[in-house]
């Protein structure tokens, strides 16, 4: 938090040099830094009202975004909020302090087997189900179960070292360790763990050095009888660019899937969440929410939190109308954020072991040129940007270069199933973030 406030003057000075004095005083000087989350890559900034917020987003987005990235790097974006949104956010956070534990997890027919396996692992680590591989679509409770295992292990075995990490974070830490020459410390950290819990393991797929490192980490932990738990959006066999030797190891123990909850489970989730945040929700409103939201537990919980925020901020009690409003807000907020060219280049760079700067540079060695062509192809696939605009994003290259790159990758994907699978996994990873 302090680093954001300290850097705010630098951000303001950057903006001052990009716009007129009148524009700066009218729009930028009224902005207030709120928080910075490096893990999520988002700087939260408060605008005085909705009109001010929309004006910045519509007319001054580039200047503010460039200012933030000039200070914190290309991985950080920003989000504007109004005082009302900040008040709602604070109310929600204050009511969301319960932990992801087995006690707060609602069991149903869709997750009963996975939950039972997780409870067993937390009680008897590395005895039978090692590794434990949990898979299912986003928003069905995999992260909750993984954290519940971690909490239970810490409670049952306080002397043990429990590590929880996301798949892309593991990859990023390795890249940084290689660059800094600290791979020995990286290996020490992960290979000395008593239990390693990795969320979204699919994000290491296609990344050769990351898979190589994880292969040896897995073997070390497994041979030392340490518990490994992994989650993914699909079973090992369906992660196309995951090395076969890892697919095999991921299936050595137990694989368990989680499915969308049935109506009764959805009702129980809504009521339990309402109880946790201290909100009374009539059965008719619970039923309305359960009927409207069928496939995502995160949306069910988010709707209840939104109802609580509305109650605290406006004094409104939960009704069908406020539930409809809450559902609308949650569903709209859950829409994926627009994918930027920078995010695509970063993901391709991680996959092919080059830097984003290399991809945008004039370097012509084979690996970088291929990664550049892949990047152009995926940018076109995801954003549908005009060829001319794509060329500008890659160091001002001519649109004919972009056309050629896309044709090359199209042909490569037709002939080479590995390239096709890698491109598919990169696109899926980008869209799932």
Predicted local confidence at residue 120, as pLDDT: 95
**The token pair that represents 337 in the structure block:** 């954020």
Confidence at residue 296, expressed as pLDDT on a 0 to 100 scale? 85
What is the DSSP secondary structure assignment for residue 253, as one 8-state letter?
A: S
Q: Are residues 289 and 304 in the same domain?
A: yes
Q: Got the DSSP string for 234-266?
A: S-GGG-TTS-HHHHHHHTSSEEEE-----HHHH
- Pull the structure tokens for residue 408: 């090359």
Whether residue 94 lies inside any domain: the answer is: no
- C-alpha to C-alpha distance for 321 and 287, rounded to whole angstroms: 13
Residue 87 domain-assigned (yes or no): no
Residue 430 and residue 378 in contact, taking contact as beta carbons nearer than 8 Å: yes
- 19-38: per-residue pLDDT in tens? 888 888 888 988 999 888 76
User: Rounded to the nearest 10 degrees, how much is the dihedral formed by the CA atoms of 168, 169, 171, 172?
Assistant: 120
- The pLDDT confidence band at residue 276, using thresholds 50, 70 and 90, is confident
Give me 179's structure tokens.
């660059």
Residues 377 and 306 reside in one and the same domain: no
Token reading at 362: 């004039």
Q: What is the pLDDT of residue 375?
A: 94
Beta-bridge partners for 197 = 164, 229
Domain that holds residue 20: 2-81
| Domain of residue 301, CATH code | 1.10.8.60
String of DSSP letters for 285-305: HHHHHHHH--S-HHHHHHHHH
For the chain, the C-alpha Rg in angstroms (whole number) is: 24
Does 104 fall in a domain?
Answer: no
Stretch 322-326: mean pLDDT: 89
Query: pLDDT digit string (tens) for 371-421?
Result: 999 999 999 888 888 888 899 889 889 888 999 999 999 999 888 888 888
Q: What is the pTM of this model?
A: 0.64
Q: Could you give the CA distance from residue 401 to residue 394 in angstroms, rounded to a whole number?
A: 10
pLDDT at position 38 is 65
Let me know if residue 371 belongs to a domain.
yes
3-state secondary structure 308-327: HHHHHHHCCCCCHHHHHHHH
The last residue of a domain, from among 230, 257, 284: 257
Task: State the pLDDT confidence band at 146, using cuts at 50, 70 and 90.
Answer: very high
Residue 196 pLDDT > 80, yes or no?
A: yes
Residue 246: the pLDDT is 94
Same domain, 272 and 243: no
Q: Tokens 């975004």 — which residue?
A: 65
The yes-or-no verdict on residue 186 having pLDDT over 70 is: yes
Do 298 and 402 fall within a single domain?
no
Are residues 385 and 328 located together in one domain of the fold?
Answer: no
For residue 366, tell me if it sits in a domain: yes
Report the b/e string of 217-241 with b at 16+ CB within 10 A: bbeebbeeebbbbbbbbeebeebbb
Question: CATH number for the domain including 56?
Answer: 3.30.300.180
Q: Is the pLDDT of residue 339 over 90?
A: no
351, 424: one domain: yes
Is the pLDDT score of 149 beyond 90?
Answer: yes
Structure tokens at 253: 């123990």
Choosing from 202, 232, 257, the residue where a domain stops is: 257
More confident: 69 or 221: 221
Domain with 244 in it: what CATH number?
Answer: 3.40.50.300
From 202, 191, 140, 123, select the one nearest 163 (Cα to Cα): 191
252 and 150 assigned to the same domain: yes
In this structure, are 299 and 386 located in the same domain? Answer: no
Q: pLDDT category, 1, cuts 50, 70, 90? A: very low
Strand stretches in 212-364, DSSP E? 227-232, 254-257
pLDDT at 91: 54
Instruction: Indicate the residue among 242, 257, 272 that finishes a domain.
Output: 257
Residue 138 lies in a domain: yes
Whether residues 323 and 417 fall in one domain: no
Token pair belonging to 1: 């938090």
Asked whether the beta carbons of 410 and 377 are under 8 A apart, the reply is: yes
Position with higher pLDDT, 1 vs 290: 290
For the chain, the 3-state helix, strand and coil shares in percent, each to the nearest 5, are: 60, 10, 30
The closest alpha carbon to 194, from 166, 174, 221, belongs to 221
Is pLDDT of 283 > 70?
yes
The pLDDT of 181-206, averaged and rounded, is 90
> pLDDT over 70 for what percent of the chain?
93
pLDDT tens for each residue of 367-376: 899 999 999 9
Q: Mean pLDDT over all residues of the chain?
A: 86
**pLDDT of the residue at 417:** 85
Alpha-carbon distance values, 257 to 111, 121, 145, 195, 302 (Å): 7, 16, 12, 21, 23
Tell whether 349 and 400 lie within a shared domain. yes
pLDDT digits (tens, 9 = 90+) for 49-96: 887 888 888 888 889 988 988 887 777 889 998 887 666 555 555 444
**Contact predicate 303/327, CB 8 Å:** yes
Q: Are 122 and 248 in the same domain?
A: yes
314 in a domain, yes or no? yes
133 with 253, same domain: the answer is yes
Residue 55 lies in a domain: yes
Check pLDDT > 50 for residue 309: yes
Q: How many domains does the structure of the chain reveal?
A: 4
CB 197 within 8 A of CB 102: no
Which helix or strand (DSSP H or E) is residue 278 part of? Answer: none
């Amino acid at each position: 938090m302090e680093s954001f406030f300290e850097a705010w003057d630098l951000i303001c000075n950057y903006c001052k040099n990009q716009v007129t004095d009148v524009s700066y005083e009218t729009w930028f000087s009224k902005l207030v830094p709120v928080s910075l989350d490096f893990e999520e890559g988002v700087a939260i900034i408060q605008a005085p009202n909705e009109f001010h917020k929309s004006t910045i987003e519509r007319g001054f987005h580039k200047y503010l975004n460039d200012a933030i990235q000039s200070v914190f790097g290309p991985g950080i974006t920003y989000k504007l909020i109004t005082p009302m949104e900040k008040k709602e956010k604070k109310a929600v956070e204050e009511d969301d302090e319960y932990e992801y534990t087995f006690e707060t997890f609602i069991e149903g027919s869709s997750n009963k087997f996975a939950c039972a396996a997780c409870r067993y692992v937390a009680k008897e680590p590395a005895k039978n189900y090692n590794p434990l591989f949990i898979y299912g679509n986003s928003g069905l409770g995999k992260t909750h179960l993984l954290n519940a295992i971690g909490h239970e292990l810490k409670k049952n075995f306080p002397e043990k070292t429990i590590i929880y990490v996301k798949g892309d974070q593991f990859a990023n830490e390795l890249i940084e360790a290689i660059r800094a020459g600290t791979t020995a410390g990286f290996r020490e950290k992960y290979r000395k763990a008593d239990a390693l819990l990795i969320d979204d393991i699919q994000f290491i797929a296609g990344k050769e050095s990351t898979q190589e490192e994880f292969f040896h980490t897995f073997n070390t932990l497994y041979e030392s009888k340490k518990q490994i738990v992994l989650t993914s959006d699909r079973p090992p066999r369906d992660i196309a660019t995951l090395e076969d030797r890892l697919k095999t190891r991921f299936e050595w123990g137990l694989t368990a899937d989680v499915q969308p909850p049935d109506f009764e489970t959805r009702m129980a989730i809504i009521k339990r969440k309402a109880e946790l945040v201290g909100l009374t929700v009539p059965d008719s409103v619970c039923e309305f929410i359960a009927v409207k939201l069928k496939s995502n537990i995160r949306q069910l919980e988010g709707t209840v939190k939104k109802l609580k925020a509305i109650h605290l901020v406006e004094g409104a009690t939960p009704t069908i109308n406020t539930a409809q409003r809450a559902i609308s807000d949650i569903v709209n907020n859950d829409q994926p954020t627009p994918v930027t060219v920078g995010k695509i280049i970063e993901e391709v760079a991680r996959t092919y072991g080059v830097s984003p700067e290399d991809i945008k540079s004039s370097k012509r060695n084979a690996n970088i040129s291929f990664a550049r062509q892949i990047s152009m192809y995926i940018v076109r696939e995801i954003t549908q940007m005009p060829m001319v605009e794509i060329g500008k994003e890659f160091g001002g290259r001519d649109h004919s270069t972009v056309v050629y790159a896309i044709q090359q990758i199209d042909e490569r994907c037709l002939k080479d199933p590995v390239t096709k699978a890698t491109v598919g996994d990169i696109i899926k990873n980008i869209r799932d973030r």
